[in-house]
Structure 1
Amino acid sequence: MTAPGGDTPRDPGLQPERTRLAWRRTTLAFAVAALLAGREALLHGVSPAGLLGLSLCALAWLAFTVATQRRIAALGSARPAAMTAGTAAWAVLCVVVLAVAGALLVFLGPR
């Protein structure tokens, strides 16, 4: 059976729901990593490197959360569009910023 446009009807099943849950789990893991980085920054006293690392972690987490919410909203439609290259690049950039901020905290923080 074909749809009026000639396309076969799509039955996404539970795939969009699994994808939404995966984005939420990833956001939770990102938040835990940012909180641990913040704990590291505050545990050994406040330093300029610690403040920079802490603010980078917070900004990266906020940006990743925004990207996640946009993607989850896009998955809510009956026929979700594929993730754009911009969204993927944004998510990768957020992860790289979190890694750099963590490295700042570990290697440049006070001991």
Structure 2
Amino acid sequence: MSAAERDPGLQPERTRLAWRRTTLSCTVVALLAGKQALHGGASPAGIVALSLSVLAWLGFLRVANRRVQGMGTARPQQLGAREALMTAACTVALAVFAVAMLF
């Protein structure tokens, strides 16, 4: 069976849905960070952490959107090392900024 005849089944759709769920989770984290910053007294450190959280969320959103769009082909490209590193860095950054906002 050649690559042109490949039947990917539902795998690309499952992967696309997984990226969308993860994007939704990151969006909820960013919104909760904003709520915490606004209701927590809006200290300068909290505002910096919130700003960095928004930047990390936007970075993750960019990678996720590119992956979701790329899953529309019959033979999607693999996730590159650069995108994987960006995804991991944004996820860790969101966690670090969330902890910074609590203290």
TM-score (norm 1): 0.87
The structure 1 segments of at least 4 consecutive aligned residues displaced by more than 6 Å after TM superposition are none
Report the counterpart of residue 54 of structure 2 in structure 1.
Answer: 58
Q: Does 1:18 align with 2:14?
A: yes
Tell me which amino acid in the other structure corresponds to 1:63.
Answer: G
SS of equivalent to 2:19: helix
Tell me which amino acid in the other structure corresponds to 1:100.
Answer: V
What displacement does 1:8 show? Answer: 8.7
Q: Percent identity?
A: 52
Structure with the greater alpha carbon radius of gyration: 1
SS of equivalent to 1:70: helix
Report the counterpart of residue 72 of structure 1 in structure 2.
Answer: 68
For the residues of structure 1 that align with 2:30 and 2:4, how far apart are their CA atoms? 44
Runs of 5+ consecutive residues of structure 1 not aligned to the other structure: none
What displacement does 1:15 show? Answer: 0.4
Correspondences of 1:42-53 after superposition (within 5 Å): 42-53=38-49
Counting helix residues as a fraction of each chain, which structure ranks higher? 2
For the residues of structure 2 that align with 1:64 and 1:82, how far apart are their CA atoms? 17
For the residues of structure 1 that align with 2:64 and 2:70, how far apart are their CA atoms? 10
SS of equivalent to 1:40: helix
Runs of 5+ consecutive residues of structure 2 not aligned to the other structure: none
Report the counterpart of residue 35 of structure 2 in structure 1.
Answer: 39
More relative contact order in 1 or in 2 (CA 8 Å, sep 6+)? 2
